[in-house]
Amino acid sequence: MKIYYFYDALCGWCYAFSPVIKEVYEENMERIDFEIISGGMIRGERVGPMSNMAEYILGAIPRVEELSGIQFGKPHIEVLKEGTTLHSSIEPSIALSVCKMFAPEKAIPFASAMQKAHFFDGKDYNDNAMYIEIAASLGIDTERFSGLLLTEEARYAAHQDFRLAEDFGISGFPACVAEKSGKYYLISRGFMKKEDFYSALAKVESIAV
């Protein structure tokens, strides 16, 4: 079985779901193949200063925190209110693609660390130094990692992720799709608690081949 985890680095609900999918991954990585796919939620004409989305995001945060138990940090709130930071999914998607090239087994922890850095610590996704720091914390060769961050190869890989999400018909994040014996099953759409995720996964696992 394989699980495709479709997410976007700028998705608050993905940030809320990141501890869940990280735990599920760590508990099942020996028996299930996982692949994380960047959805490219904010790209093209949607790219702009955070002020474009700040009011909506600030309004949504209390509900995300209440339902998931995740906390958004004060530094992130301050960055949102200041509003000038560029809001784009491209840069974190490229960084994740580079991680997938070198250490695919660390891609889900890498994405989780990126989102914590952004949504809790207020770090800027446009700062490549942040990605290198995360790579180092996960034991990834930072010289090789940093050497690929600005390449067309990495940018192309990120856009291939966007295309894959579109091919799967994924229009909202987070979402998880299980592949079993050549068939695909939607396990989750939106935030889901771990016990509910496992319940949905068990239903797929019980399907006779």
* pLDDT for res 100: 97
CATH of domain 2-205: 3.40.30.10
pTM for the structure as a whole = 0.96
In the chain, domain spans: 2-205
Contacts of 69 (CB under 8 A, 6+ apart): none
Q: How far is CA 209 from CA 8, 28, 206, in A?
A: 32, 20, 9
* pLDDT for res 192: 96
Cα radius of gyration (the chain): 17
Measured distance CA(10)–CA(200) in Å, rounded: 26
Judge residue 178's burial from the number of C-beta atoms within 10 Å of its C-beta, 0-12 exposed, 13-18 middle, 19 or more buried.
buried
Q: How far is CA 199 from CA 31, 193, 202, 204, in A?
A: 17, 10, 5, 9
Residue matched to tokens 């693609």: 97
* pLDDT for res 197: 97
Residue 144 CB neighbours (<10 A): 12
User: Per residue of the chain (209 residues), what is the pLDDT tens digit?
Assistant: 999 999 999 999 999 999 999 999 999 999 999 999 999 999 999 999 999 999 999 999 999 999 999 999 999 999 999 999 999 999 999 999 999 998 999 999 999 999 999 999 999 999 999 999 999 999 999 999 999 999 999 999 999 999 999 999 998 999 999 999 999 999 999 999 999 999 999 999 999 77
Residue 40, both tokens: 């490219």
